[in-house]
Amino acid sequence: MPKGLIKPLRYRQVHLDFHTSEHIPQVGAQFDPVDFAATFKAAHVDSVTVFAKCHHGWSYYPTAVGKPHPHLVRPDLLGEMIDALSASGIANQIYLSVQWDELAAREHPGWRVMDASNDFQRARPSDPSTGRQLSPAWHALCLNHARYRRYVLDQAREVASRYRTQGIFLDIVTAQDCVCPACIERMLNADLNPENPADRRKNGEAVAEQFRRETSEVLFSKFPGLRIFYNGGHIEKKGEQHYWSCTHLELESLPTGGWGYDHFPGSARYAAALGFDFVGHTGKFHTSWGEFGGYKQPQALEYETALMAALGSKCLIGDQLHPSGRINHATYRTIAPAYSRIEALEPYLERARQVSEVAILSAEHLSGHTGRNHPSDDGAAQMLLELKWQFDIVDADTEFDRYRIVILPDEARLDATLAARLSSYVERGGKLIASWRSVFDANGAPTIDAGIVREDGGETSNPSYVLARGDLDTGLPPEPFVLYDEAETVRADGAQTLATIRRSYFNRSYRHFCSHQHTPDDPAAPTAGAAVTEYNGVAYVAYPIFRLYRAIGQPLYKYLVRGLLNRLARPAVETDLPSAGRAMLTHQPDTRRYVLHLLYATPQVRGKAVPDENGGMRPMEMIEDVPVIGPVSVTLRLACRIARVYDALTAKAYPFEVLESDTIRFTLPRLHIHAAIVAEQA
């Protein structure tokens, strides 16, 4: 990535989808450049991603590389959009579809991915044909074909040379599970086994990286100030080096589109820790991308964009332009309130650093997990969000001394080097919370001294029960409570035992069962080992407590972790904001002020059978309206004395009480969706 040449991303962006079939006539006929730019301006939009080539493979300008849409009425629709935006002071970014190009897939079938499982997005489940030929599906292209890679690069160079653009967004660049002849040959030459899914994954990742490397090297050289990003729908936790070919990151995370409301915060806390400028993607759609005539409620957009800003992200709302080129004014009336608020907040967002006291060492990163969500990372992030602890999600290259506590969630296995670094961190006063297998190697030997010994085999009762010591957390009951997952069997060897495992009478089977679900705990059975321990700043939970919380949502699991956090450190932020609320603390060192973002909304599952892209059904969380709550009390522990506390938007002052030299307490009378509270240093 070229350093020092790339301007910061703008805060109020729109991604304007334009995937338009060749069977639609009069494309762009109703485009009005004056109305186009004025609509964005009125909605406080300051940057728009416009289309050069879409998933259908058609281009929207007079290209010498690709093929213009056959029914494009305005030959240079792309150029007219860019000119109109530029004249209004609105930045632009140019979109190019990469691995979804239906025109190229038809004209060059040899370039198609031959998916090992015949899996295609939008395929019909009833379609058994090879390559899903009888489905309205996107037929992905394999980047292992040099001619296709050159085709995409030539088009990227063409638009970057022809138009005054700030960046290029290259969409659908992912590791494909491809067994086309070219990929099989490549795997065999690299001593990889095409019949092994892990080897196919290595090949797919190498092919995608080759494309990114070739493309970025050329574009960085020829257009040194150009922003470049390759989108794959999720920011994989693979370390900063994995993103060397990008100038910034874009976090696709449409809450109603299948990502859910808990995906973006974890993704953002990883992107921020990498040090990239980044933008979050939500959508104006009721469902997801590609929806015509769908509208998200304005209060939902206010909440989603405020959450992005609170997490250090720039904001982007996805829209879709009608094939006629007519912009939808109703859409921008729903966007305007959110972006008006973000515009007013920008002085309190610029160069703000997240105040993070906890690091979640990513299980996705250490386990090699693929896919959008890792349940252990997600569960840990969900807990900390609800508990209002300030955190990052990090990889193995992180400097751990920046954090007071490091969490090793469930299956964050450590190699010898990483284990030694974390042991040194603990010796210097750092704290660890580890769960399940994260402090043992594959053979069960300890990698971190947690003051425990692992017995042979795991706990045989599943589910089993935990009896917590009374001083672990006030929210835990004095009786055993059930945990619906397996556990490691460990005994304390120097550690304090804070909770023990209680077995059931027996596991449920056809031979013996009790009641509707599972058998109760057996009070006469001996203790089955330690469930929770603490030793010299290292706390351990024998269960995969984080994935379990994501799966079951039992608050007692969160309280168990809360008890450990509070034993190890005092949080920077304490508030009686409900668990659905969010609290993010940032610091602007240039202006010597902290900004506390408080948010409250309650996403609800309203759609229970939304069609998904693979022919199934999914539930959908959504926000329709947000109640006013309050008063909300806040305690802040900061590394300085505070002179003044006030609302960032209204400048209303809040009286505060000094509890200690670095601790203040104040009350917010009411909260509706979002408040940014400024604490100025003395």
Residue 653 sits in a domain whose CATH number is 2.60.40
Q: How confident is the model at residue 254 (pLDDT cuts 50, 70, 90)?
A: very high
Q: Which two tokens stand for residue 106?
A: 């038809």
Q: Are 88 and 44 in contact (CB under 8 A)?
A: no
For residue range 382-418, list pLDDT tens digits in order.
999 999 999 999 999 999 999 999 999 999 989 999 9
- Least confident residue range of 9-13, 225-229, 442-446: 442-446
Average pLDDT score, the chain: 95
Q: What is the pLDDT of residue 660?
A: 87
Residue 215 dihedral angles phi and psi, to the nearest 5°: -70, -50
Q: Retrieve residue 357's tokens.
A: 């006291």
Residues 6+ apart with CB under 8 A from 130: 118
Q: Residue 276: inside a domain, yes or no?
A: yes
| Residue 104: both structure tokens together | 């190229």
Tokens of 346: 């920008």
CA 573 to chain centre: 23
Given this model, what pLDDT does residue 111 score? 97
> Tell me, what's the pLDDT at 639?
86
Residue 42 has pLDDT above 60, yes or no: yes
Looking at residue 611, its pLDDT comes to 85
Residue 115 forms part of a structural domain:
no
pLDDT exceeds 90 at position 570: yes
In CATH, what number is assigned to the domain containing residue 84? 3.20.20.80
Note whether residue 637 is domain-resident: yes
What pLDDT is attached to residue 1? 60
**CATH number of residue 550's parent domain:** 3.40.50.880
100/111 Cα distance (integer angstroms): 11
Closest CA to 667 of 649, 681, 653: 653
| Tokens 């206010």 sit on residue | 302
- Is residue 2 over pLDDT 80? no
In the numeric block, which tokens belong to residue 479?
């009786």
Q: Taking Cα atoms as reference points, which of 107, 109, 114, 132 lies closest to residue 180?
A: 114
The verdict on 52 and 158 lying in the same domain is yes
Q: Is 287:293 a contact under the CB 8 Å cutoff?
A: no
98-128 confidence digits (pLDDT tens): 999 999 999 999 999 999 998 888 888 888 8
Of 219, 169, 221, give the one whose Cα is nearest residue 9. Answer: 169
Nearest 5°: phi and psi at 546?
A: -80, -45
Torsion 558-560-561-565 (CA) sign? positive
Indicate if 376 and 269 belong to the same structural domain.
Answer: no
What b/e readout covers 643-680, taking b as 16+ CB neighbours within 10 angstroms? eebbebeeeeebebeeeeeebbebebeebebbbbbbbe
Residue 5 has a pLDDT of 72
Residue 177 pLDDT > 90: yes
Q: Is the same domain home to 371 and 479?
A: yes
CB 495 within 8 A of CB 530: yes
* Same domain as 400, residue 523: yes
What are the DSSP calls for 556-616, one per residue? HHHHHHHHHHHHH---SEEE---TT-EEEEEEETTTTEEEEEEE----EEEEEEEE-TTS-
Q: Would the pLDDT of 646 be above 80?
A: yes
The string of pLDDT tens digits covering residues 586-629 is 999 999 999 999 999 999 998 889 888 777 888 989 999 999 99
Determine the pLDDT at residue 452. Answer: 96
Q: Is residue 186 part of a domain?
A: no
Residue 333 structure tokens: 């009336």
Identify the residue with better confidence: 126 or 14.
14
Q: What is the pLDDT of residues 309-355, one digit of tens each?
A: 999 999 999 999 999 999 999 999 999 999 999 999 999 999 999 99
Q: Which of 569, 603, 636 is the last residue of a domain?
A: 569
pLDDT at 530: 96
Which residues does residue 663 pair with via DSSP β-bridges, in sequence order? 637, 660
Domain that holds residue 380: 358-569
pLDDT band at residue 459 under the 50/70/90 scheme = confident
State the amino acid at position 109 in one-letter form: P
Q: Is 595 exposed, middle or buried (0-12, 13-18, 19+ CB in 10 A)?
A: buried
Q: What's the whole-number mean pLDDT along residues 160-178?
A: 97
3: pLDDT strictly greater than 60: no
Residues 49 and 71 in one domain: yes
- CB distance 306 to 673 below 8 Å: yes
Length of the chain: 682
H-type alpha helices, 390-544: 416-427
Q: What pLDDT digit, counting tens, does each position of 344-354 carry?
A: 999 999 999 99
Last residue of a domain, one of 537, 569, 601: 569
Q: How far apart are CA 192 and CA 586, in angstroms?
A: 46
Q: Are residues 448 and 524 in the same domain?
A: yes
Q: Is residue 203 part of a domain?
A: no
What whole-number distance in Å separates Cα of residue 511 and Cα of residue 514? 11
Q: What DSSP line would sit under 37-64, residue for residue?
A: HHHHHHTT--EEEEEEE-TT--BSS--S
Q: Are residues 527 and 597 in the same domain?
A: no
661 has a pLDDT exceeding 90:
no
Provide the pLDDT for residue 615: 76
In a domain, residue 652? The reply is yes
What the block records as the tokens of 16 is 């304007």
> Sheet holding 431-435: strands in order across?
391-394, 358-361, 405-408, 431-435, 538-541, 530-535, 496-502, 464-468, 481-483
The number of domains in the chain is 3
Token output for 101: 């190009």
Spatial separation of the C-alpha atoms in residues 263 and 257, rounded to whole Å: 11
Are 337 and 392 in the same domain?
A: no
How far is Cα 229 from Cα 243, in angstroms, rounded to an integer?
Answer: 9
For residue 522, pLDDT over 80 is answered with: yes
One domain, residues 554 and 415: yes
Residues 450 and 373 in one domain: yes
Is residue 236 domain-shared with residue 332, that is, in the same domain? Answer: yes
Query: Does 568 have pLDDT greater than 80?
Result: yes
What pLDDT sits at residue 657? 96
Shared domain for 417 and 564, answered yes or no, is yes
What's phi and psi for 179, nearest 5 deg? Answer: -125, 35
* Distance from chain centroid for Cα 300: 18
- Closest listed residue to residue 662, CA positions, set 581, 589, 594: 594
Residue 403 lies in a domain: yes
Asked if residue 234 belongs to a domain, the reply is yes
Cα–Cα dist 181/408, whole Å: 41
Instruction: Judge whether 45 and 12 are in contact, CB under 8 Å.
Output: yes
Which domain-ending residue is among 326, 350, 374? 350
Cα 58 to Cα 20, 61, 167, 360: the distances in Å are 8, 9, 20, 43
In this predicted structure, the answer to whether residue 456 has a pLDDT above a threshold of 60 is yes
Q: What is the pLDDT, as a whole number, of residue 588?
A: 97
Query: What is the maximum span of the chain, computed from C-alpha positions, in angstroms?
Result: 82
